[in-house]
Amino acid sequence: MLFMFPGQGSQKIGMGKDLYDVFSSARDVFQEVDEAISFNLSDLIFFGSDDDLKLTENAQPALMAVSMAFVNVLKKDFSLDISKKARFFAGHSLGEYSALCAAGVISLADTARLLRIRGLAMASACPNGGSMAAIIGLNLEVVEKILAELKDNNFAELDRAEKSVLQVANDNSSGQIVISGHRVAVEKAMAKFKEYGAKMTVGLDVSGPFHSELMEAAVEPLKKALGSVVFSFPVRPIISNVTAKAESDNFEQLLLRQLVSRVRWRESMMFAAENSITEAVEIGSGKVLAGLMKRIAPSVECQNVNSLEAAEDFCKKI
């Protein structure tokens, strides 16, 4: 069984509150996260504004906290330790930190601190501006071909005074690719993708050009934070965003590389399916990853644990 943890964009006000209201094991998670980052994140998650929650430095630890609240409730209140059911863990971008926490590699408090630092570093890494866009209906090969043509033309329509960065940030599925880079380059590329038959191009509401070389300034702050963290051997391997393979060590370097590298999610899920995974469970807010898995590997049965009711249903089926 594969346990998956969501990334940024899955956040919503009120997520996890049904667990918080019922189980002390969930409240313990939220309280530990609040204390670790010296900020009342729980109050923001349950009662704050969408604009504040979507800020990268808030969304990242918030989504992790909700995922880990579900993990803790499953273990302590439903007697279901997911590490004993898992063959692999995986998480999309920040979700990889949730996966590492669930696999016992990093403590909950350290995970919260790392994500707070990571979020702040990512938000401030590109002060001159950058953006991301989802390209729907084209596969990775076509998207990379178009990007290569734009680079060969030296971004002829753009300002030559500045080298424009434009690259694949997320390979989410065969028909959903996310690009990242300087804002003008992304906007021009969106028009080009439409010429090549993209069904849709959607600008993403994010605070920076994540998973691109423009995140290089975020590497040093994260490296410093990672240097103070104790990494343990995982109870089960993690399918890395960077390698799209099962990993059991070298997580510090993988997390640093992840900042400036594409999220190889399609390949990661193909790796899981090719290694006899027939069931995948997404734990935390939303259901994005289960939806992607249905497109990548339709034979894999997917389930979401994103509410108290869903957690109860999962425990009945397991």
Summarised one tens digit per residue, pLDDT across range 159-187 is 544 568 999 999 999 999 999 999 988 99
- CATH code of the domain containing 246: 3.40.366.10
| 311 shares a domain with 196 | no
Is residue 207 part of the annotated active site? The answer reads no
| 6 shares a domain with 88 | yes
- The phi, psi pair for 57, rounded to 5°, reads -70, -20
Res 226 pLDDT > 60: yes
The pLDDT score that the predictor gives to residue 162 is 55
The pLDDT score that the predictor gives to residue 206 is 87
Domain limit, last residue, from 141, 176, 207: 207
The pLDDT score that the predictor gives to residue 184 is 87
Q: Which residues pair with 178 in a beta bridge?
A: 134, 170
The pLDDT score that the predictor gives to residue 158 is 52
The residue type of 177 is I
Higher-pLDDT residue of 180 and 206 is: 180
| 141 shares a domain with 25 | no
Check 10, 67, 93, 240 and give the catalytic one: 93
Summarised one tens digit per residue, pLDDT across range 133-163 is 999 999 999 999 999 888 777 555 555 445 6
The pLDDT score that the predictor gives to residue 18 is 97
The residue type of 133 is A
The pLDDT score that the predictor gives to residue 254 is 98
| 230 shares a domain with 182 | no
| 141 shares a domain with 115 | no
| 118 shares a domain with 46 | yes
The pLDDT score that the predictor gives to residue 315 is 94
As a whole number, mean pLDDT of residues 185-194 equals 90
Domain limit, last residue, from 207, 233, 250: 207
Check 173, 211, 212, 261 and give the catalytic one: 211
Task: Locate 251 and state its tokens.
Answer: 């997580």
Is residue 67 part of the annotated active site? The answer reads no
- Which pTM does this prediction carry? 0.96
- CATH code of the domain containing 195: 3.30.70.250
The beta strands (E) that lie in 253-309 are given as 279-283, 301-305
| 236 shares a domain with 120 | yes
Q: How many domains does one find in the chain?
A: 2
| 92 shares a domain with 230 | yes
Containing structural domain, residue 252: 2-124+215-317
Q: Which residues contact 202 (CB under 8 A, 6 or more apart)?
A: 133, 134, 136
Res 214 pLDDT > 50: yes
